[in-house]
Amino acid sequence: MRKELDYSPLVFAAANETEFKRVAGEVAVAWRAQAPTRLVVGLDGALGAGKTTWVRGMLEGLGHDGRVPSPTYTMLEYYELNELTFVHLDLYRLSGEGPAGGEGGAEFEALGVRDWLERSATWVFAEWPTRSPQLVAGCDVWVELEFLGDRQRRVTLAPRLPAGQVVVERLRGASPFDSSYKR
């Protein structure tokens, strides 16, 4: 008998930015241990909610020790981490005009996102993914970041596709995602 996939989200809180980045790093390590060849993650949250900080924490967890700038102006930064390519997109400035319609038109195409999405051993993390219906439809995991007061943040990891369900499910019950982190 085949087990039914569980698409319920995993929700936890981080008390401050240091803990937030540490947990992001632990998520990255756990996901990397599962060796998904491709992963598409949408990062959602208000301006300043910590989308780039989350990516910095993930990259640190994967062993990157260099600078991790916000791709607000470049729109795309990528990192080669041994056999994994980590692509960080910020689609906030996409115009939504042009031949590709609501996907940012020529700007979206010029980023080469479609090429990144077809590569194996590539994780694509997109801030403001709703600027691209293609990315929304292809997100394995949706990460929602919210402030709870001045410093605390709530993180919701919601699987959307089978690959996302697998990586989120393996976090359940494991530190740092045990009951002491759930709020």
Tens digit of each residue's pLDDT (9 = 90 or more) over 66-75: 999 888 888 8
Question: Given this model, what pLDDT does residue 100 score?
Answer: 41
How far apart (Å, rounded) are the C-alpha atoms in residues 134 and 50? 23
- Structure confidence by residue, pLDDT tens digits, 89-129: 999 887 654 334 444 566 777 777 888 888 889 999 999 99
Q: Do the domain assignments include residue 120?
A: yes
Question: Given this model, what pLDDT does residue 161 score?
Answer: 93
**What is the average pLDDT across 145-155?**
90
Cβ neighbours of residue 98 closer than 8 Å, sequence gap 6 or more:
104, 105, 106, 107, 108
Q: Do the domain assignments include residue 127?
A: yes
How far apart (Å, rounded) are the C-alpha atoms in residues 38 and 25? 18
Question: Given this model, what pLDDT does residue 134 score?
Answer: 80
Q: Do the domain assignments include residue 121?
A: yes
Domain that holds residue 78: 12-169
Q: Comparing 101 with 27, which gets the higher pLDDT?
A: 27
Q: Do the domain assignments include residue 132?
A: yes
Q: Do the domain assignments include residue 93?
A: yes
For β-strands 76-81 and 84-90, DSSP reports them as: antiparallel
Domain count, the chain: 1
**What is the average pLDDT across 169-173?**
81
How far apart (Å, rounded) are the C-alpha atoms in residues 95 and 17? 31
Q: 51-61 and 17-33 helices cross at what angle (nearest 10)?
A: 50
Which CATH number is 83's domain given?
3.40.50.300
Q: Comparing 45 with 148, which gets the higher pLDDT?
A: 45
Res 51 pLDDT > 90: yes
Q: Do the domain assignments include residue 79?
A: yes
Question: Given this model, what pLDDT does residue 105 score?
Answer: 61
Q: Do the domain assignments include residue 64?
A: yes
Question: Given this model, what pLDDT does residue 119 score?
Answer: 87
Which one-letter amino acid corresponds to residue 150? D
Q: Comparing 82 with 6, which gets the higher pLDDT?
A: 82
Question: Given this model, what pLDDT does residue 10 score?
Answer: 93
Distance of CA 100 to the CA centre of its chain: 24
Q: Do the domain assignments include residue 183?
A: no
Res 19 pLDDT > 50: yes
CB 108 within 8 A of CB 75: no
